[in-house]
Structure 1
Amino acid sequence: MSDAPVGDSLQRARQRLTKALESAGRPPDDARLLAVSKTKPAALIRQAYAWGQREFGENYLQEALDKQTELSDLRDIVWHFIGPLQSNKTRAVAEHFAWVHSVDRAKVARRLAEQRPASLGPLNICLQVNVSAESSKAGVAPEALDALADEVAALSNLRLRGLMAIPALAIGLETQREPLARLRQLQEGLKRRLPQAPLDTLSMGMSDDLEAAVLEGATLVRLGTAIFGARGPHR
């Protein structure tokens, strides 16, 4: 193909994920790649699509909506909203995305449920947890997770799929694993608490900690720079 740079990067990312799964003793299809395309032009998403990538993550709503319009001919793209979500933007997210990874407040969840078009089916939800207790990071505190999960699981038009985290930057595999292990343990607790919910998703792991995340059970790994190169400025 003529779009080799993105294709080559995507193949390397897939190989890295496959190797990490093998090292963890997990099946090769036990986790999938979410291509984080924030600040990247639609043309690069189209290149990745040509190489078989279907799931893309966006952080900035208006930028994402513009790309969705430009790429509307690619019918089977699955769009994930992974950025901070303000209450006044929930309608557009509910109408244009299949997944939201960043729900950390009941008010936001209720608005998404109310505004989700019935024709699109339930919106897949991951609750963002602040596992590193960073004041600068979004996310529900671990001790408040059960109450939020109970409320989200009871909302029609939403499907509670799992948890997401962006841990503090850490160096070294074992240090990286610690907050990711906490997220996995929280998910295991939710599975016991909410056996009716399809809690099958751990959205964790990025370019710097993919291997640690896979060792701790990640099912959706978010890679941006490794696929598309360094991020440009958000316009």
Structure 2
Amino acid sequence: MATPTIPTKDNHIKHTPHTGPRHVAIIMDGNGRWATQRGRPRLFGHHAGARRVREVVETCPDIGVKYLTIFAFSTENWKRTQVEVAGLMNLFRRYIIKEARALQHFGVRVRFIGDRVRLDAKLIDLMNELEELTAGNSVVNLTIALNYGGRDEVARATKRLAQDVADGKLLPENVDEETLPKYLDTYVLPDPDLVIRTSGEARISNFLLWQSAYSEYEFIDTLWPDFGREEFTSLCAGYGGRERRFGGVNS
């Protein structure tokens, strides 16, 4: 298999202050609270949130977003009740089956990141099938973080890197900040330009820790099931007015 081209910060430095984000990552938060406010079970909110994903994906080409990464289930979410976790896993299976044809028709390439070991075999098979089905698409690159945690990802990447050192494939003195990204789940993706978190929480919750070192952040009060095209477009437009110096000083 050919060695992938690894994106670097140069991808982002080429952006002008008036260019919208090429890669947007979203922490889709607030489904449970949205349901509770309506006197419904939390899973009702998760189903409503899943329906919002298609609207956001379909908005991407219109506003120049080539890559969209969404945080679907974290390594910490296993701490939730057994009923909610089982319901979420069933929702993921249903989402893949229901949306596969639409994603393929729309030209969306789907990738999954995260540790698949803990997921059930049926879900893993569906994930693999969807990745294979959409592998030739390029309109939008949709990455779904499922059983994903930033620290877990870095730990898994470090283990693989250490094994290559032990096997003599990599010299310790050649390891630098450009080396580790080649071992991350996101090795074929550019770093996110903009990270959005819905629901009013102002934390990153272990999401894309390495990749978002120079990302811009937007923490908004909107609950995810209420988030749609208009607000997504507005946030991306606002990014275009930000000054991006990456530690330097513009003349």
Of structures 1 and 2, the one scoring higher in RCO (CA 8 A, sep 6+) is: 2
What TM-score results when the alignment is normalised by the length of structure 2?
Answer: 0.37
Give the TM-score normalised by structure 1. 0.39
Q: Which is higher, the Rg of structure 1 or of structure 2?
A: 2
